Amino acid sequence: MLIKEILSELPTATKPLVRKFEQENGSHVLAIGLKANVVLKEHKSDIPARILVIKGAINYVAGETKTQLDLYEEHVIPIGEYHSVEPLEDSIFLVIKK
């Protein structure tokens, strides 16, 4: 239901939509929805993480480097790397933290 919830709210969203799945054994999964032109501001992760796009396309921005991730593509987020996420269209992605 979390993904459907994000999908229903995405057309009118003015900020990132973040939903957390149940935590298990120190790991957790976030589902994040970004309406086109709503940026997930720069931040960092202190634990290993991975992004998986499940709708749309995004740019993962770290410093001067932009990495485009299309539907079903994934990217490893290095520990401590400051980054932001820019949607290229209405998008949903999972952040998997271990």
pLDDT digits (tens, 9 = 90+) for 41-89: 999 999 999 999 999 999 999 999 999 999 999 999 999 999 999 999 9
Sign of the torsion formed by the C-alpha atoms of 4, 45, 60 and 75: negative
- For 8-38, write each residue's pLDDT tens digit: 999 999 999 999 987 878 789 999 999 999 9
pLDDT for 23: 81
The CATH code of domain 2-97 reads 2.60.120.10
